[in-house]
Amino acid sequence: MRAVIRVLVSFLGLAGLAVTTAWAQHPQTREGFWIGFGFGYGTAGLTCDACGSTTREGPQTREGFWIGFGFGYGTAGLTCDACGSTTREGSASGYVKLGGTLNKSVLLGGEVDAWTKGESGVTVTLGNVSAAAYLYPAPQTGFFFKGGVGYANLRVSNSGTATANGFGFVVGAGYDIRVGRNISLTPVANFYWGGDGDLKESGTTIDTGYKHNVFDFGLGITFH
């Protein structure tokens, strides 16, 4: 507010000086047809008590606890011993992550990634739960790589539910766009893989050797 007032006062002062000078040099006669136009170019630097000398994106500070979540779209592929490779399918995806700050370049935490699609009464859900690390190679920016390992799951639901569980990993990259002191919009790209193993329903093996892979893009919000 102080910056705005200063600009307005300066502008009015300059305008008043220009009008006074013109008035002294030329009488103000107005006759017949008239037309006028104008253009200009200017630069200004504003200061205010809260924002410092210039307006810029919030600083990339990282400390303490953080949490984030987001949604997106991904394509998924499945393989198994009996079915071979299936056609990739596209559908909604999402993630939740939280953890703590090791230093300004490294965050440690846990992340859940999931993809799901329902069709003809059958819903397939693929997911990974990972212990993950987030590396910011240039700490002054919001760009990061991530990687993690953990648990993978395949779930098929219709009249009953069949599941397969195994080892999985996730890798990806993203960028924290600061929109507030402790809030970022975070676009991300992820790849997660799972060696789910045998698909079972009520202890009965339906198929063996399932593996899944998902590649997705998403947009999330992160609270630092």
Backbone angles phi, psi at 211, to 5 degrees: -140, 145
The single residue listed with the structure tokens 């008043």 is 16
Residue 74, judged by CB atoms within 10 A of its CB (0-12, 13-18, 19+), counts as: buried
- Which is higher by pLDDT, 167 or 17? 167
The single residue listed with the structure tokens 């440690």 is 108
In this model, does residue 25 exceed pLDDT 60?
Answer: no
* pLDDT score, position 62: 86
pLDDT tens readout for residues 74-131 = 999 999 999 888 899 999 999 999 999 999 999 999 999 999 999 999 999 999 999 9
The pTM for the full model equals 0.73
The answer to whether 199 touches 163, Cβ cutoff 8 Å, is yes
* pLDDT score, position 22: 41
Q: How confident is the model at residue 56 (pLDDT cuts 50, 70, 90)?
A: low
pLDDT tens readout for residues 133-147 = 999 999 999 999 999
